[in-house]
A and B are shown apart, each in its own frame.
Chain A
Amino acid sequence: MPEAHSPQNDIPPSAAPPARPEQAAAESADVIVRRSRPPVRPFRGLRSEISTGGTLLLGLCGILAVLAVWWLLTRGETPEQRWLSPTLLPSPAETFADFPRLWFEEELTRNAAVSLRRVVLGFGLAALIGVPVGILCGCFRSLGALLAPLLIVGRNIPVAALIPLTFFWFGIGEQQKMMFIFIASVAFVVIDSANAVGEISGRYIDTAYTLGASRRQIITKVIVPLAMPSIFNSLRLLFGIAFGYIMLAELVRLGSEAGGLGFIINAAQRRGMRTYILLILMIIPLIALAVDRLLYWIQRQLFPYYYGSEGWLHRALVLVLRGCEDVAAMFRRPAEPPLALSRSADQSRAPGSGPGPAAPQSETKKP
């Protein structure tokens, strides 16, 4: 698993949304200097923004370039006329012509669903256990130190080497696939969650303490909500990697357990169907992209205060939490709030206190 990924990739700093005034200023400045503006040079400005259309167009150009090279390398009627023989690489036309057969005969959708289900279950379990453990590791350094050796092993173990062991431990069924994904990803989930907690600025915790929050309240009301956007972001990236691992688990087979995209690749390899392998290699990133976008949408709706979205899921979550609070409130007596404002305002007229803010000048003594 690449360790260089940062869980913050897509999280703008929390200060990002309020940048609007600057933008407005930049726009007004734009109007003034428009006349003297230099001609557009797409590759000139370092890190300069490009439009969405431009992004898509350039991406399309990239795909077309790869297809063109592929087409060139495999051009020709007979194998002798081609630069690469069909046994090495079938032509684009041959590959795409086999797609309907792959779809219908090999039950592509069912197998994709089987693979996806395994990842979702395995990774879901890893998140369910890893996130709370990671948050506790981040909150309590001693727990973090206790688990550190285990996590270092978990992070640096070559995942492929785990497969034989998982056969012994979990048999050859679905459980083995799921647990393989779990073992391969749980250490990363724990580490990223602990880091997300560690990155919360201490001033939030100090503030909560001076407002009378207990340690438990700080964890549930401050640390968890503030760490969640970062944790969710890293879960999304890790899910993509876990989706890659499932191929590994499905390619190594004992016995006749079946299903999954890896299974199709395996079968195609034995039958010499290179086109199937190529097609599946193209389909996997598409599925991964779709899942990633879905998770990104969820993320945006969960954390409107980071992404400036409508926050539908956030609102739903708030409603659920309020419901829970109201139910809990039925079983205990509510605390009395400190003195209400209006009552204390009267007391400020007590002798000895300074004049009110709007005190007339005549009341004041001149030195």
Chain B
Amino acid sequence: MTPEIAQDPPSKSIASIGMGRIVDRSETAAEAGLPCVVEFRNVSKTYNAGRRNAFTAIENINFRVRDLPGHGELVCVLGPSGCGKSTILRLIAGLPPQHPPTTGEVLVGGAPVLRPGADRGMVFQDYTSFDHRTVLENITFGLECMGVDRRRRRELGYEWIEHVGLDPKHDALKYPHELSGGMRQRVAIARSLILRPRIILMDEPFGALDPQTRMNMQDLLLSLWRESEATIFFVTHSIEEAVFLADRIYIMSKAPGTILRELWVEPSDRPARQMQGDPRFLETVNYVRNLITQLELEGRIAEGTT
């Protein structure tokens, strides 16, 4: 129960590939010089500030995700329900009412976020396929808004239907209500990725799926991500999911949400089903689980003493 971890001495080793162990790693000097894809500077969000029902969702969030050349990072935000994980995503997306932050700055590509845009695609937990559009029309919605002509949309749409594992012949003209949960999320992923966003925001996208489908979707996501250069922010409360998917995990506290710990994780080298049954993988998951318990306990003690 002691995967190699080192929080303090920053070693320069690059993340190796394997069983999702925790890696002792921090930014190399070369990386520190790179521009940031996403940067949070002292970001807090308080709803109904100054009133009796004021609620602070996140407090003093600081992090940087560097723009690595030719390769995006998969960042998981792990925390209990209602800890402000979604607030972080929606701040990056620029969606009201989370946007704008109460204090601090959210920078994407070095510039403050002003409004939502197609460069930051988002996949939600709820099924958000447009009920009145077929699978093909759903997937090509963004292209339609850009003004791409219909024949081109159709071509690309079919390409992506196949690419996310749907059947172009049978599924393209179906309406969302004829699809299962997993298929709907495939549509949602294709709909975002067809626009080739720099950043993909995923808000517990597999939360409502059964474990089998969920693992299939995790594999799909990794394969799609590896061929794109996008940075993925993936919000989840499942430790297994975070350890399996992530390059980096941010562990968040209960509301008001703060980042308790940053963990680097080995990228996984095998499909979800093999990986998530392996004792060495489970060891890491257990380690993270205990770490969270310990961090929570420390937080409570700190609260009690102050």
Show the binding face of A for B, using Cβ within 8 Å.
Answer: 14-18, 201, 203-204, 206-214, 217, 221-222, 225-226, 228, 303-306, 322, 325-326, 329, 332, 334-342, 344-345, 347-348, 350-357, 359, 361, 364-367
Contacts and interface: CB of A to CB of B under 8 A. Distances in A.
B146 to A, nearest CB: 5
Given A18-B178, A222-B130, A335-B146, A341 B160 contact: yes
Contact of A365 (B18, B145, B178): B18
A338 B115 CA distance: 20
* Residue of B18, B132, B222 most packed against chain A (CB within 10 A): B132
A353 B194 CA distance: 20
Contacts of B90: 206
A305 B175 contact: yes
A342 B95 CA distance: 32
Contacts of B191: 211
Given A334-B149, A352-B69, A361-B270, 9 more contacts: A15-B177, A18-B179, A208-B141, A212-B195, A337-B148, A348-B226, A353-B229, A354-B71, A356-B223
B222 to A, nearest CB: 6
Nearest to A224: B132
Contact of A367 (B132, B227, B266): B266
B153 A337 contact: yes
A340 B155 CA distance: 10
B68 A332 contact: no
B196 to A, nearest CB: 4
Contact of B226 (A16, A214, A357): A357
A209 B179 CA distance: 23
Interface in B165-195: 175-179, 188, 191-192, 194-195
A306 B176 CA distance: 11
B19 A367 contact: yes
B124 interface: yes
Given A18-B177, A337-B146, A210 B131 contact: no
B131 A226 contact: yes
Contacts of A204: 128, 130
A207 B177 contact: no
6 contacts: A211-B141, A228-B132, A337-B146, A341-B159, A353-B226, A357-B226
B147 interface: yes
Contacts of B262: none
A367 B148 contact: no
Interface string B132-157: 10000000011111111110110010
Closest 9 CB pairs of A and B: A212-B118, A357-B223, A348-B227, A334-B149, A209-B116, A211-B142, A338-B196, A210-B122, A335-B147
Contact of B227 (A14, A306, A356): A356
A325 B192 CA distance: 23
B267 interface: yes
A339 B195 CA distance: 8
Nearest to A353: B71
Interface string B27-39: 0000000000000
B17 A364 contact: yes
Given A347-B229, A348-B228, A355-B269, A213 B145 contact: yes
Contacts of B143: 337
